[in-house]
Structure 1
Amino acid sequence: MIAAVPPINGSDLQDTNEAGRQYLQSFLDGQPLLAALITVCRLRLPERLADSPATADELASWCTSTLNAPDLNAEYLERILRVAHAYGWVQCDQDLAYSLTEAGTLLVPDAPNSMVPAVITRSFELWRQAAASMYDTVVTGTPVALDDCPTLYDWLDRQPPTVRDTFDAFMASRSSLIAPAIADLDLSGKRSLIDLGGGKGILLATLLRKHPNLLGFLVERGRVAQAARDYLAQDPDLAGRHQVLERDLFRDGIPPRFKPVYVLSSVLHNLGDDQAVTLLERIAKTMRDTGDAELWVAECVRPERPEPHPSMPLDLLMLTLTYGGKERTVEELARLLHYAGLSLLDVRPLPAGQSLLIARI
C-alpha cells in the first residue's frame, strides 16, 4: 500500500520560495554593488579617509577639488556612502563622520595588499564585455570579448599606459599574497630560480631576499620585461643576483641553469590543455638536460567537487578572456604534468585559494 503524501502547506512553500528568491537576488545585487565599489575607489574616498574621518559634505568638497569635478552631485555621493556603510567598507560615527573599516583599509592604493588594482581592473571595458558576452562565448565556443586579439595580453599591449599599469599592479598584488608562503619552503639544495612569465618580479624578489644562496632569472616579454628590470633594480640587496631575459616561452628556448627551480605562477590557467602540455614539455626537456631540477606550479586549484571557491569565478574569467584557459583540479594538473613527462611529487596549500604543485622528471 502506497503511503499518502502529506499535503504541502502553502505557507511552508512560500517560505521556501522566499529563501530561494533572496538567495538568487543576492547574485543580481552583485552588479550594482560592484559598480559602487569601483566608484568608491575611482572617487578616491578611501585615500581621503585614510588621513582622517570626514563627513559627506567634506568628502564632496574634497572630491570636487581633487578630481576637478565641479558638477559632482553631493546627494549621489551620499547615496554611494550609504551603500559603503551598509556593506562594511566604511563606518559612520554619531557626528556623521565616515572612517574606514578594516576591510576598507584594503581600498587605500598604497596599503599593504591593496585591492584597488583588482577593483579598477574590473572596470575595464574588456572585463565588462567579457561578462556581458558570456552567453555568446558559450554558444560560439570562442571568447567574443577578445574580438581580434589573440590573447588578453595582446589586448593589454594596445591599451593606454594607465590601463596596463593597473593590470600589472593587480597581477603583482596576487603574487604578493602567495610569495611569502613560497619563500618559506626549503631551497637549500638549489642554486638558481627561474620565474617563467614572472611579471614585474614580486615573487622572484621575495624568494631571493629569503634565500641569499640563490641566483634569480625572470623570463618575460616586451614591456613587462622592462617593468621587471625597473622593479628589481630598486633593491640594492639584489644587485648582481638577478637577470631579466626577454623571451617568448613558446618561441624561444627555456633557459638552462645550475640546480634550478623553474616556477610557473598563474600561467597554466591562461592556456588550453594542448598549449599547457606543449609548454610543460619544453620545460621538461630543459630540466632533463640540466639535471637535479624541479618545477613549481602555483595555480588557483579547483576543488574536486563543485563548491564555492575562489577558483569558480576565476574560471569564468578564463572562459571569457582566454582561448581554452581554465582553472584545474589537482588531478587535471597532474595529468598535464604526466603527459609532459613530469611527475607530481607534492601539493602545498597557499593563501587566497591557491596551491603549489611540485614536480620533477
Structure 2
Amino acid sequence: MAGLATPMALRVAVTLGLPDLLRGDGAAVGDLGLDVDPVALELLLDHLVSLGIVERGGAGFRTTDFGAHLCADAGNDLTRLLLDLDSAGGRAELAFVELAHSIATGQAAYPRRYGQDFWADLAANPRLRESFDQQMIHRAREQLPRIAAGFDWARFATVVDVGGGRGTVLAATLAAHPGLRGHLVDLEPTVTEARRTFEARDLGERTQVTAGSFFDPLPAGADAYLLFDILHDWDDQHAHRILARCAEAAAPDGCVLVVEPVGGRHADSAINLAMLVIFGGRERRVEEFRALAAPHGLSLETVTELTEQRCLLEFRLKPPRARDAATPQ
C-alpha cells in the first residue's frame, strides 16, 4: 500500500504512449524514438512486465491484452486523462505529494507544488484547459440520460448552466425536455466549444452562451441556475461568492440547483482528499450545503438521488423579509 513505484510507472508509461508504441509485434527499446535514457526506460519496462502491462517478445517488448486497455483507442479516455502527466488531471494528481501541507493548513496543495492555483494554471496553459474540458465531458457522459430524466426539468422555462463547460449536460437536458431553454456561462475558449455542441445537436435556437466568470454578475431572471460539479471545487469563501451571484440573478421565485457528490452519500474518501489537495474544496454534506446557502436567502427544498455518484439539491429563494441579512463577504 505504501509503494509509489507502480502508480508512477503507469503514469509515465501512459504519458510516453508506451502501450500504443508497443502494440502488435512490439519493439526494442532503441527503436521507440523516445527522447529518454534507454537504460532507465528498460527499467521502467521491466516493472511494467511484472504488472502484466507489457511482455518480452522477439523484438523486445510488446503490449499485452491487459495493457491494451491503456491504448488510445481502448475507450478508457477518462482513465488515460487521469494518468497522463501532461493532462490537467494527471498533473493535478501529483499535488498529492504535498498532502501533509493540506492537512496542516486546510488549504490546497496544488499552489504549493506549482506556484499558482489550479485555475490559474489552466488559464496559462491551453493544453491543460483542453484536457480538463475533455475530462469533465467524460466524467458525466454515462450519467447524462439519468441526469436528464431523474428530475422534473420541464417545470422550468429557462435554466442557466453556471460554469457549464462545453455544454454536454445542458444539451442532454434540453434534448430531453423540448420546452426548456438554456443559457450557458463559462470562460473563453470553453464557451466557443459549447456553441459548437449546441449547434451540432440542433439546439442553437434554444440556447444562449455568455463568456464570463461565475464570480461576476450572471444573466438575470432565469427560473433556475444550475451548478454542476462546481461548488466542491472551492472553499467556503469562494462557494459563498458563487451562490451569492446565483441568488442575486434568479427570478423572485427562482431556484438554484446544485448537482455533485454529497458527503455521506456518494462521495468516497479518496475523492474528498482530491478535492482538498487540488482545489482546497470538499464534498459537502447536506447540512453543510444548507448552512452554506442560508445566508443568501436560499432554502433547501429537496435532495434527489440522480445517479450512484451525484445528488441534486434544490434551493429556493426565500421571500426577502425572511432572509438573513448577514451575507458573508
Aligned to 1:301: 262
AA in 2 matched with 1:189: R
2:89–2:135 contact (8 Å) kept in structure 1: no
Local SS of the residue matching 2:289: helix
Whether the 8 Å CA contact 2:183–2:208 is kept in 1: the answer is yes
2:312 aligns to what SS in structure 1?
strand
Q: Offset of 1:140 from its aligned partner?
A: 4.4
Q: TM-score, normalised by structure 2?
A: 0.78
Q: CA deviation at 1:267?
A: 0.9
Q: Which residue of structure 2 lines up, in the alignment, with residue 206 of structure 1?
A: 172
Select which of 284, 309, 329 maps to 2:247. Answer: 284
Alpha carbons of structure 1 residues 237 and 272: separation in structure 2 relative to 1, 3 Å? same
Report what 2:276 is aligned to.
319
Q: Classify the secondary structure of the residue corresponding to 1:199.
A: coil
* Secondary structure of 1:133 counterpart: helix
Q: Percent identity?
A: 26
Matches of 1:202 and 1:82 in 2, distance apart? 39
State the TM-score, normalized to the length of structure 1. 0.72
Aligned counterparts of 1:266 and 1:63: Cα–Cα separation in 2:
45
CA spacing shift, 1:71–1:137, aligned 2, 3 Å: closer
SS in 2 for 1:237: coil
Task: Give ranges in structure 1 of 5+ residues lacking alignment.
Answer: 1-25
Q: Does 2:297 match 1:341?
A: yes
Aligned with residue 162 of structure 1, among 118, 127, 138: 127
Map of 1:86-235 to 2, 5 A cutoff? 99-101=64-66, 105=69, 108=72, 111=75, 114-120=78-84, 121-124=88-91, 127-128=93-94, 130-147=95-112, 151-159=117-125, 161-185=126-150, 186-233=152-199, 235=200
- Whole-angstrom CA distance in 2 between matches of 1:208 and 1:134: 40
CA distance in 2, matches of 1:133, 1:99: 34
In 2, Cα distance between the equivalents of 1:68 and 1:196? 42
Correspondence for 1:249: 214
CA apart distance, 1:216 = 1.8
The yes-or-no answer on 1:41 pairing with 2:14 is yes
**1:156 Cα deviation (Å)?**
1.3
Note closer, same or farther for the CA distance 1:107–1:210 as it changes in structure 2 (3 Å cut). farther
Letter in 2 for 1:213: G
Alpha-carbon distance change, 113 to 178 in structure 1, aligned in 2, over 3 angstroms:
farther
Offset from partner CA, 1:10-64 (integer Å, 9 cap, x none): xxxxxxxxxxxxxxxx2x13x3222132234224355578xxx73xxx2335994
Structure 1 residues 288 and 164, CA gap change in structure 2 (3 angstroms): closer
2:49–2:55 CA contact under 8 A, matched in 1: no
Aligned match for 1:60, one of 12, 27, 31: 27
C-alpha distance in 2 between matches for 1:112 and 1:330? 32
Q: Tell me how far 1:202 sits from its aligned partner.
A: 1.7
Shift of 1:205: 1.8
Structure 2, gaps ≥5 residues long: 318-329
Whole-angstrom distance in 1 between the partners of 2:176 and 2:77: 19
Cα gap change, 1:62/1:133 in structure 2, threshold over 3 Å: closer, same or farther?
A: closer
d(CA) in 1 for partners of 2:287, 2:173: 27
Distance of 2:231 and 2:290 partners within structure 1: 12
Q: How much has 1:179 moved relative to structure 2?
A: 2.3
Structure of greater Rg: 1
C-alpha distance in structure 2 between counterparts of 1:63 and 1:207, whole Å: 51
Q: CA deviation at 1:221?
A: 1.6
For residues 194 and 145 of structure 2, the distance between their equivalents in structure 1, rounded to whole angstroms, comes to 19
Distance 1:193 1:64 in 2: 54
3-state secondary structure, aligned to 1:280: helix
From the superposition, tell whether residues 114 and 271 of structure 1 become closer, same or farther in structure 2 (CA, over 3 Å). Answer: closer
Residues 69-104 of structure 1, C-alpha deviations (whole Å, 9 max, x = no match)? 68656854642443442xxx7899xxx985545x96
1:272 is aligned to: 235
Distance 2:122 2:6 in 1: 26
For the Cα contact (< 8 Å) 2:26–2:62, is it kept in 1? no
Between the two proteins, the alignment pairs up a number of residues equal to 308
**Preserved CA contact (<8 Å) 1:278 1:340:** no
1:360 match: secondary structure: strand
Shift of 1:255: 3.2
